[in-house]
Amino acid sequence: MRLIILNLVFVYLNLNLFSQNAEEIIKKAEDMIKGETSTGTFTMTVVNPDFKRTVVMESWWVGNEKALIVIKSPAKEAGNKTLKIKNEMWNYLKNTETTIKIPPSMMLQSWNGSDLTNDDLVRESDLIKDYDIKLLLEEKIQNEDCWKIELTPKPTAPVVWGTIYYWVRKIDFLPALIQYYDEKGNLHRTMSFSDYKIMDKRKIPTKWTIINNKKTGHYTEFIYNDVKFNVKIPDRIFSFKELEK
């Protein structure tokens, strides 16, 4: 009997350690690509069977709490901006000099024509806070050994996805692939990471590809042109004065 109890305790402790390690892996992967703050420029290319559109943007981020994104080109869209403060979001259109608050009814619409929605930007989840995290197995992605981790939402978490599968590279704790499923188990979106380079003394995936699994031939690429992490960003950046300047 004592041996059985000891074995059960051993299994319990190892399961807890397994879970804790999974959380640590996800936290490290998220921290590596985000930092406490970041600022930089990136190129977004939206592709579907009918057209291809390329936009250059500049952004400022403070964790998941605040963001300002400004379109730099093409010229006809330059000056359009998106401001995010916690769970609220506004768009500024330079041509008409108008600021529009995004209502709940528009949250699931495309953000800037991409395969991200307004809701994705506004409710960017704290994965550690919102999901139960379990390490499933190890497998190769793009010839790199990765941990495959399952994330299922906690009962009260305000999230869209029913399940997320997240692959993290063992060599550097950087994300390799993320799949997003709805509550019925249907795959909606696949995000792959590539072109790992050193930027601001930090190794990151500089190309993010978001594939819309519900619409054939629809995908969006984000490519970092430059980025700086953990820099001091003035609060005025996230003000309406800055948005409408």
17 sits in which H/E element: helix 2-34
Give the list of residues 6+ apart from residue 221 with CB closer than 8 angstroms, or none.
43, 44, 45, 47, 207, 208, 209, 210
Residues 120, 110: contact at Cβ < 8 Å?
Answer: no
Q: Would you state the pLDDT for residue 53?
A: 94
5 belongs to a structural domain: no
**Residue 102 φ/ψ, nearest 5 degrees:** -75, 115
Tokens coding 55 = 């936009």
Mean pLDDT over the full length of the chain: 86
6 within some domain: no
Confidence band, pLDDT 50/70/90 cuts, at residue 116 = confident
Tally the domains of the chain: 1
The strand pairing partners of 191, in sequence order, are 178, 210
- Separation of CA 14 from chain center: 30
Is residue 128 scored above 90 in pLDDT? no
Smallest Cα–Cα separation from 111: which of 75, 74, 86, 83?
83
Q: Does residue 153 form part of some domain?
A: yes
pLDDT score recorded for residue 13:
39
Q: Is residue 2 part of a domain?
A: no
Q: Which has more confidence, 241 or 199?
A: 199
The confidence score (pLDDT) of residue 245 equals 77
For residues 202-219, give the mean pLDDT. 94
pLDDT above 60 for 124: no
Encode pLDDT of 4-23 as tens digits.
Answer: 444 444 344 344 444 448 99
What's the distance, CA 126 to chain centroid?
10
Q: CATH code at 124?
A: 2.50.20.10
Spatial contact of 188 and 182, defined as CB atoms under 8 Å apart: yes
The reply to whether 4 falls in a domain is no
Q: Which two tokens stand for residue 147?
A: 């941990």
* Residue 2 pLDDT greater than 50, yes or no: no
Examine residue 35 and state whether it is found in any structural domain, yes or no: yes
Measured in whole angstroms, the distance separating CA 233 from the mean position of its chain's CA atoms is 20
Specify if 7 maps to a domain: no
Question: CA-CA distance, 140 to 144, in Å (whole number)?
Answer: 5
Q: Structure pTM?
A: 0.83
Domain encompassing residue 47:
13-243
Question: Residues of the chain with pLDDT > 90: what percent?
Answer: 60
Please compute the mean of the pLDDT values over residues 71-89 and round it to a whole number.
91
Interval 160-170 mean pLDDT: 93
Residue 189 falls within a domain, yes or no?
yes
Q: What does the pLDDT average to over 218-241?
A: 92
